Amino acid sequence: MYAPSSVDAPRIHTPDFITESALTIPIYGMLGEDGRPYEGADPSGVAKEIVLAMHDAAVFTRLLDERMVAAQRQGRLSFYLTATGEEAATVGSAAGLEPDDMILPQYREQGALRYRGFTAAQFMDQLFATEDDLGKGRQMPVHYGSRALSYMTVSSPLATQIPQAAGYAYGQKLAGEGRCSICYFGEGAASEGDFHAALNMAAVIRCPVIFFCRNNGYAISTPVSEQYAGDGVAARGVGYGVRSIRVDGNDFLAVYLATQEARRQAVSEGVPVLIEAMTYRLGAHSTSDDPSGYRSRKEEEAWQRFDPIARIRAFMEAQGWWDAERDEALRQGYRDEILAAMKTAEAKPAPSLARLIEDVYAAPPWNLTEQYEALREQVRANPDAYPKTAGRIE
Amino acid sequence: MYAPSSVDAPRIHTPDFITESALTIPIYGMLGEDGRPYEGADPSGVAKEIVLAMHDAAVFTRLLDERMVAAQRQGRLSFYLTATGEEAATVGSAAGLEPDDMILPQYREQGALRYRGFTAAQFMDQLFATEDDLGKGRQMPVHYGSRALSYMTVSSPLATQIPQAAGYAYGQKLAGEGRCSICYFGEGAASEGDFHAALNMAAVIRCPVIFFCRNNGYAISTPVSEQYAGDGVAARGVGYGVRSIRVDGNDFLAVYLATQEARRQAVSEGVPVLIEAMTYRLGAHSTSDDPSGYRSRKEEEAWQRFDPIARIRAFMEAQGWWDAERDEALRQGYRDEILAAMKTAEAKPAPSLARLIEDVYAAPPWNLTEQYEALREQVRANPDAYPKTAGRIE
Amino acid sequence: MARMNLLQALNSALDTAMAADERVICFGEDVGQFGGVFRATSHLRDRYGNERCFNTPLVEQGIIGFANGLAAAGFRAVAEIQFADYIFPAFDQIVNETAKFRYRSGNEFNVGGLTIRSPYGGGISGGHYHSQSPEAYFCHTPGLKVVVPSTPENAKGLLLASIRDPDPVLFFEPKRLYRAAVGDVPEEDYTAELGRAEVLREGGDVTVLAWGAQVEVVTRAAEMAAEKGIDCEVIDLRTLLPWDVETVTRSVLKTGRLVINHEAPRTAGFGAELSATVQERCFLYLESPICRVTGLDTPFPLAHEREYMPDHLKTLAAIEQTVNF
Amino acid sequence: MARMNLLQALNSALDTAMAADERVICFGEDVGQFGGVFRATSHLRDRYGNERCFNTPLVEQGIIGFANGLAAAGFRAVAEIQFADYIFPAFDQIVNETAKFRYRSGNEFNVGGLTIRSPYGGGISGGHYHSQSPEAYFCHTPGLKVVVPSTPENAKGLLLASIRDPDPVLFFEPKRLYRAAVGDVPEEDYTAELGRAEVLREGGDVTVLAWGAQVEVVTRAAEMAAEKGIDCEVIDLRTLLPWDVETVTRSVLKTGRLVINHEAPRTAGFGAELSATVQERCFLYLESPICRVTGLDTPFPLAHEREYMPDHLKTLAAIEQTVNF
Ligand SMILES: Cc1ncc(C[n+]2csc(CCOP(=O)(O)OP(=O)(O)O)c2C)c(N)n1
Ligand SMILES: Cc1ncc(C[n+]2csc(CCOP(=O)(O)OP(=O)(O)O)c2C)c(N)n1
Ligand SMILES: [Mg+2]
Ligand SMILES: [Mg+2]
């Protein structure tokens, strides 16, 4: 029975308002700035292979980001978006999952995708919209997706994936195969109505989903001080009855362990969990952006010091798992691989014209068939105007 | 500078999730179930005239509700919706404001409107969509509105008024006249994305608005246990950095004093405040609803005991401000007035045909003018088919 | 066969779908224990359990977001939006997500299992927000299918077909007919093909086209026209996206005249598309302008609902005008 | 007069409006210090303070909800939606609230002071979600005005008129022209009348109609047609709701032929309404079917953007086909 007036909530007789100071949210961290474990932090739960694999994926995407920003500046690519500085958040969390847990990304989670095994060639096919792109060349660069890797295709409208993750996870629960979903989003996207819908629904309907917020300080030019007035995103979880944790998002070990624990609770109890990873977007929002218009070099430099890759490398070296030589070999190998893959992709043709009307529906209805026929004639009649497709019309 | 990793938030080194038990929200109450002030509750801050005026408005709307439900059953009215049991929440809060503060209602706040002075005739003109309805007969019954009384016209889509209240209040702040807005909504509506948008925006942009949630246990058939999993709506305020209070919504004094204090803070500091009033929808959702399909008589009866009017009456009688005779006189007077107003309204004509195309725009464009001309001919040619308007076409 | 009203037919369709396939999941505001405010989901929770038929919190954008995710996971999500007037908070999830899911992923993922049911339309004294006919908004959105039944019998068949269709479907239910339309409905499992219009009445003078609750209205007008010696061909469109251009143009090529009726406001309503396409294809055969009988370009009114509606009288007048052009 | 590109003209309009009336308030995602991702609101925060030009949190439904409230309070709220593709989360606030505010209250309240600015359209390699042209959705919504400029000069005049108009206006900015279109723009305060189309080129053979960025495309097609001896009358619609039926029908009564061009998908695009209405009014004068040159009925693609777009070549082909019907 619903009877709040009679529940044993404490009574007060003066109108005292509660404020955010009613709630203190600590930060969960394993590694200090220098990469050394905090006192009381026990890193032994993270296997060596996991650490190496996380570092590997992080280095790959860091190099990919560098290469593609350069490619965009050279005019070889229309658009790109780096995750520089956020690798611990995305790779560390992916590592904390099982490989067939579903990932619903925002767009800055190439680290998670790489951890799952997306190849340099696959990245390039998407970025250059080649005929081998799994997305058939239909979306802007960085809108990756792969069913084989349980990585839902990126969609630009912000926050739409958050309630979708609740629904997907509910399906996983019904299917009873012990899987869960993770949903990434920025602290900016967490202002959208879909965020609210998702957390509340997931809590009420009991969906095994990990809501993973990358709080990187900015939504394009908008700093968190103009995004919210409360204590970040983790503080909201409590209101929804969703267990929440704030974690140092530049600390691979903490992100990994928090995600692993979140997964355990989500799957075993069938409930949602919220993780807020505090990090920083070291680069521009995207290649269309120039941060000098809204933040200081000084601030950026201050954050360089928390570089997650440097911290995990220091940790690895202290453990005797890594050294400069191995590091250079890894990097050079990836640099070469990435460059070669880019050249290959650049040389590939675009998807054929027929792709344009496929997949709107399972089968094209009359209007699309007719429009395609007319277009084919149009391209045939004006091959110079449509160089991407004119050469190979079916 | 944004640097969460370096702020002095406490650090933890095990992944411990926080839950809703991290936050305890007490209930602010002045009067016990029997209408006697709690120990430690000081009712002297509420003037006798205010108490009498609140009681008066509550009794009026209680009787209006009774009369109109009967009228709907008799087939005299298409639809009605009572606020029975929630009078303390709506009237008490309206009493805590200044008369020219803006009210943005959901739809169950006839108590607040009556407190502002809406007359029996005005209620009836809206309910019967007469030619004198301020809303020109365009909306369903209970969609009241009055610029003179600073009561924004009711709109059925839930929660849309919540971000609007933030914007309205921001305008009041810019105008600098020391006014604020109050926005009413149900705990069901608080699940909508617009709620989230509103609270976050109001907090960030600093809007002097009181968000007033009537938590009456149900959204049509849906109990709060299927609406949210956290600790009600007040617990969310903290996450937005909005000061919040939970109040016994069936206690006129507590609601009044909480609203008065909320108003003081909103206006003097230019910030939003959230009030969650715990109450119960004693009647059906509307005349289209039958609660026996989803809740027990027993539960309803248990809540009868908290009837806010009975409690305030006991308080008034204990103060020597009220007695059975005065009560009966008040009630009989209102019964007569309401019945007479209803009969008058029933006899009034509908708004004239021209109203149909007015106010879509400030001035009707060509398409509406043409459509109106054609319609006028149509009505002229078939007067029997359009009895409401055929008699008096301009 | 059983006598059913349109609501019962829909309930029977849902029941049939859930019995046949355990991946069919129904949810929305008040659809659980209560069975929906119109009772379309009555008894389903009792029969199939709370896991497969449940209440959601009150948030349309969440309902459809959740439904998109559930459908992407391979389920047949049947989401109810309590009134079509309240579908707009979910517009982004429908237009930017549902409609583009398969295309944008290159068919790596799809939400073909999604069906969105929602009561639409006027004639119930519902004013602005319990009367709207928003179909045209969705018809401008490639990737969606839009279906509107008109009788208990086709309601069941079309809903079953929609739930099983490989594409996401918006299924708008004419609530004015929920209890008013009664007819024989097969109790067994059957589907009605999507994308097919139905010729309800053959005639040679003028084609009259409608969908949903307006089918009854134009049928009545056609009967009145018959008394005046005008021989109408009446078509029930049933699926709006993709619509049955063949049946419609075949009819207009024969009659040379077309009257389209819909409740939504005229400007940019779906009647405009039908008119534009038909004149493109039947230009030389048209003997009079294609005529639209529609709601006015106003919000849906209350006191003047009758005046607003494209009723049989206005339709009859349009038929006569078209024939006598 | 000054040389300005379209963005600068818009910035000049906002500056002019804010200088003239302190009740003009500009806000949206990134519009404050940064001046908007396209820089349309550059310098406004510095000039008029953070109270009158500010960033909002990232929530379109909140931005328009807030804007509705601010406009209801008597302000001239100028809300930016960063891309028209992201206007859909605000669809409910626009369609159910903005559009119906005055009507439903019997004019007790109105949000006439609201202007929603948003860059729309393709041609910038933006794929699905940075390319859409959603104007038709709003044109089906009585209570809204919909305006689309095509040059720096009319952009400034139309935006100033929109901000001051007593009705809420959706102002869609052709982002492909933001920097590409450069022209002479008066530095002073002036307005261009809403609801008026502009005849850009007179001709007797066929009327060619477009708005926004497509005006340039059809003008180019008309020039190519001229070389082939076809004399096009080119009309820039400028306001889509309410549209200038008089100018358009006058032209078609003269030419007997009409080609409509828009970027949005064909089905139920605004071209359908124009076609339907023109054939109703010009039936006996039409010498060939009204022809639509539009985007395809697909989500907006990336790799095949060129193929998708209703370019000058497709327009030219349609002109020839229409004239040679
Ligand atoms: C619904 C919607 N509104 C606006 C945008 C434009 N936009 C793209 S990214 C972005 C900022 C997102 O910030 P955040 O969520 O913090 O993620 P981050 O970029 O920091 O990783 C904006 C406003 C969008 N993509 N979708
Ligand atoms: C956007 C929207 N969705 C659904 C509805 C239908 N509806 C009307 S009232 C209601 C329940 C509201 O519950 P609550 O907010 O708790 O207010 P209460 O009726 O309890 O006062 C619903 C679902 C609506 N009016 N608007
Ligand atoms: Mg961010
Ligand atoms: Mg309620």
A143: closest CA of chain C, how far (Å): 9
Q: Are residues D173 and D213 in the same domain?
A: no
* Chain A contact for C97 (CB, 8 A cutoff): yes
Extract the runs of DSSP E, i.e. beta strands, from A190-292. Answer: 209-215, 218-219, 222-223, 243-248, 273-278
For ligand 1, pick from D56, D59, D63, D82 the residue to mutate: most ligand atoms within 8 Å of CB: D82
CA distance D178 to D174: 7
The domain boundary residue, chosen from B347, B362, B381: B347
Sign for the CA dihedral angle at C303, C307, C313, C319 comes to negative
* Nearest CB neighbour to A18, from listed B218, B243, B262: B243
CA distance B178 to B101: 9
pLDDT(B4) > 60: no
pLDDT < 70 stretches in chain C: none
Q: Are residues C19 and C64 in the same domain?
A: yes
- Closest chain A residue to D37, measured at CA: A289
Q: How many CB atoms lie within 10 A of CB A44?
A: 6
Burial D106-124 (b: 16+ CB within 10 A, else e): bbbbbbbbbbbbbbbbbbb
Per-residue pLDDT band for B1 (boundaries 50, 70, 90) equals very low
Provide the mean pLDDT of chain D.
98
Q: Are residues A196 and A335 in the same domain?
A: yes
pLDDT per residue over D194-216, tens digit each? 999 999 999 999 999 999 999 99
Q: How many CB atoms lie within 10 A of CB B44?
A: 6
- CA-nearest residue for atom 21, ligand 2, is B186
- Chain C residues within an 8 Å CB radius of B389: 304, 307
Count of structural domains, chain A: 2
pLDDT(B10) > 90: no
Count of structural domains, chain C: 2
Please answer whether residues B272 and B166 qualify as being in contact, where contact means their C-beta atoms are separated by less than 8 angstroms. yes
For ligand 2, pick from C34, C56, C63, C82 the residue to mutate: most ligand atoms within 8 Å of CB: C82
A220 CB less than 6 Å from ligand 1?
yes
Q: Are residues A363 and A316 in the same domain?
A: no
* Nearest CB neighbour to A17, from listed B3, B245, B298: B245
Strand C53-55 to strand C232-236: parallel, antiparallel, or no bridges (unpaired)? Answer: unpaired
Looking at residue C318, what DSSP letter applies? H
* Nearest CB neighbour to B375, from listed C32, C59, C307: C307
Predicted pLDDT at A392: 83
For ligand 1, pick from A158, A214, A276 the residue to mutate: most ligand atoms within 8 Å of CB: A158
D275: in domain: yes
Predicted pLDDT at B19: 85
Please answer whether residues C184 and C195 qualify as being in contact, where contact means their C-beta atoms are separated by less than 8 angstroms. no
Q: Are residues D118 and D25 in the same domain?
A: yes
As a whole number, mean pLDDT of residues A14-36 equals 91
Q: Are residues C129 and C252 in the same domain?
A: no
**Ligand 2 atom closest to residue B186's alpha carbon, by position in its atom list:** 15
pLDDT per residue over B229-286, tens digit each? 999 999 999 999 999 999 999 999 999 999 999 999 999 999 999 999 999 999 999 9
Angle at D65 between CA D61 and CA D71, to 5 degrees: 145
Calculate how far, in angstroms, residue B188's C-alpha sits from the geometric centre of ligand 2.
6
B88: closest CA of chain D, how far (Å): 27
C196: closest CA of chain B, how far (Å): 32
**Ligand 1 atom closest to residue A286's alpha carbon, by position in its atom list:** 19
Domain CATH code at residue B335:
3.40.50.970
- Closest chain D residue to C296, measured at CA: D142
Which ligand does the CA of B2 lie closest to? 3
Domain that holds residue C272: 198-323
A183: in domain: yes
Per-residue pLDDT band for A20 (boundaries 50, 70, 90) equals confident
Please answer whether residues D258 and D209 qualify as being in contact, where contact means their C-beta atoms are separated by less than 8 angstroms. yes
Residue A63, classed as helix, strand or coil, is: helix
- Chain B residues within an 8 Å CB radius of C85: 156-157
**One-letter amino acid identity for C150?**
S
Residue B146, classed as helix, strand or coil, is: strand
Contact C276 D290 (CB under 8 A): yes
pLDDT(B215) > 70: yes
The sheet carrying B102-104 orders its strands as A11-12, B27-28, B243-248, B273-278, B209-215, B181-186, B102-104
B16: in domain: no
pLDDT(A7) > 80: no
Is residue A34 packed enough to be buried (19+ CB in 10 Å), middle (13-18) or exposed (0-12)? exposed
Q: Are residues A166 and A306 in the same domain?
A: yes
Which ligand does the CA of C85 lie closest to? 2
Q: Are residues C205 and C275 in the same domain?
A: yes
Q: Are residues A168 and A315 in the same domain?
A: yes
CA distances from A383 to A80, B35, D220 (A): 30, 86, 19
Read off φ and ψ for residue A94, nearest 5 degrees: -60, -35
Mutate to test the interface with A, among D302, D314, D320 (most CBs of A within 10 A): D302
Q: Are residues C163 and C271 in the same domain?
A: no
A241: in domain: yes
Does A281 qualify as catalytic in the annotation? Answer: yes
As a whole number, mean pLDDT of residues B304-323 equals 97
Catalytically annotated residues of B: 281, 285, 294
Per-residue pLDDT band for B8 (boundaries 50, 70, 90) equals low
Prediction pTM value = 0.98
The domain boundary residue, chosen from D185, D215, D247: D185
pLDDT per residue over B271-285, tens digit each? 999 999 999 999 999
Question: Alpha carbon C183 to chain centroid distance?
Answer: 18
pLDDT per residue over A338-372, tens digit each? 999 999 999 999 999 999 999 999 999 999 999 99
CA distance A173 to A171: 5
Domain that holds residue A121: 27-221+229-347
Domain CATH code at residue D42:
3.40.50.970
A188 CB less than 6 Å from ligand 1?
yes
Q: Are residues D287 and D141 in the same domain?
A: no
Calculate how far, in angstroms, residue A16's C-alpha sits from the geometric centre of ligand 4.
24
Please answer whether residues C177 and C261 qualify as being in contact, where contact means their C-beta atoms are separated by less than 8 angstroms. no
pLDDT(A9) > 90: no
User: What does the DSSP assignment read for B252-303?
Assistant: HHHHHHHHHHHHHHHHHHT--EEEEEE----S-SSTT--GGGTS-HHHHHHH
User: CB neighbours of A300 closer than 8 A, spacing ≥ 6?
Assistant: A282, A291
B217 CB less than 6 Å from ligand 2?
no
Calculate how far, in angstroms, residue B215's C-alpha sits from the geometric centre of ligand 4.
5
Q: Are residues B252 and B372 in the same domain?
A: no
Which ligand does the CA of A109 lie closest to? 1
Please answer whether residues B135 and B167 qualify as being in contact, where contact means their C-beta atoms are separated by less than 8 angstroms. no
**Ligand 2 atom closest to residue B219's alpha carbon, by position in its atom list:** 13
Q: Are residues B123 and B247 in the same domain?
A: yes
Q: Are residues A238 and A129 in the same domain?
A: yes
Residues 165-184 in C contacting A (C-alpha not used; CB under 8 Å): 166-167
Per-residue pLDDT band for A2 (boundaries 50, 70, 90) equals very low
Looking at residue D142, what DSSP letter applies? T
* Nearest CB neighbour to B201, from listed D56, D73, D245: D56
A16: in domain: no
D309: in domain: yes
Q: Are residues C128 and C203 in the same domain?
A: no
Domain CATH code at residue D237:
3.40.50.920
* Chain A contact for D51 (CB, 8 A cutoff): no
Predicted pLDDT at B7: 54
Q: Are residues A248 and A204 in the same domain?
A: yes
B119: closest CA of chain C, how far (Å): 21
CA distance D263 to D131: 9
Q: Are residues D181 and D148 in the same domain?
A: yes
- CA-nearest residue for atom 3, ligand 1, is D86
Provide the mean pLDDT of chain A.
96
Q: Are residues C169 and C204 in the same domain?
A: no
Q: Which two tokens stand for residue A92?
A: 């560390």
Residues 89-128 in C contacting D (C-alpha not used; CB under 8 Å): 89, 91-92, 95-96, 99-100, 103-104, 128
Residue C174, classed as helix, strand or coil, is: strand
Q: Are residues C110 and C248 in the same domain?
A: no
- Chain C residues within an 8 Å CB radius of D100: 128, 299
Q: Are residues B191 and B59 in the same domain?
A: yes
- Chain C residues within an 8 Å CB radius of A194: 61-62, 65, 92-93
Q: Are residues B242 and B373 in the same domain?
A: no
pLDDT per residue over B28-73, tens digit each? 999 999 999 999 999 999 999 999 999 999 999 999 999 999 999 9
What spatial distance separates the first Cα and last Cα of chain B, rounded to whole Å?
67
- Chain B residues within an 8 Å CB radius of C307: 353, 356, 375, 379, 386, 388-389
Question: Alpha carbon A154 to chain centroid distance?
Answer: 9
Q: Are residues B60 and B141 in the same domain?
A: yes
- Chain B residues within an 8 Å CB radius of C313: 378, 382, 385
* Nearest CB neighbour to D58, from listed A78, A155, A191: A191
- Chain B residues within an 8 Å CB radius of D195: 365
Residues 242-281 in D contacting B (C-alpha not used; CB under 8 Å): 242, 245-246
CA distance B392 to B350: 10
Predicted pLDDT at B9: 77
Considering chain A, what percentage of its residues have pLDDT values greater than 90? 94
Q: Are residues A285 and A374 in the same domain?
A: no
**Ligand 2 atom closest to residue B216's alpha carbon, by position in its atom list:** 20
pLDDT per residue over D263-322, tens digit each? 999 999 999 999 999 999 999 999 999 999 999 999 999 999 999 999 999 999 999 999
Predicted pLDDT at D17: 98
C191: in domain: no
Predicted pLDDT at A1: 35
Calculate how far, in angstroms, residue D89's C-alpha sits from the geometric centre of ligand 1.
14
Among B150, B87, B80, which residue's Cα sits nearest to residue B280? B87
| CB pairs < 8 Å spanning C and D | 131
Question: Alpha carbon D217 to chain centroid distance?
Answer: 15
- Chain D residues within an 8 Å CB radius of B362: 102, 110, 112, 166-167
**One-letter amino acid identity for D135?**
E
Read off φ and ψ for residue B273, nearest 5 degrees: -140, 145
B13: in domain: no
Q: Between B19 and B117, whose confidence is greater?
A: B117
Mutate to test the interface with B, among C93, C217, C302 (most CBs of B within 10 A): C302
Q: How many CB atoms lie within 10 A of CB A39?
A: 7
A19: in domain: no
Looking at residue A383, what DSSP letter applies? G
Does C130 qualify as catalytic in the annotation? Answer: yes
A4: in domain: no
Among B47, A269, C95, which residue's Cα sits nearest to residue D95? C95
* Chain D contact for C273 (CB, 8 A cutoff): yes
User: What does the DSSP assignment read for A220-245?
Assistant: TTEEGGGT-SSSTTHHHHHHHT-EEE
User: Token pair 């910030």 is at which residue?
Assistant: B271
pLDDT(B117) > 90: yes
Q: Are residues D180 and D235 in the same domain?
A: no
Note whether ipTM > 0.85 here. Answer: yes
Among B301, B208, B315, which residue's Cα sits nearest to residue B253? B315
The domain boundary residue, chosen from C154, C185, C216: C185
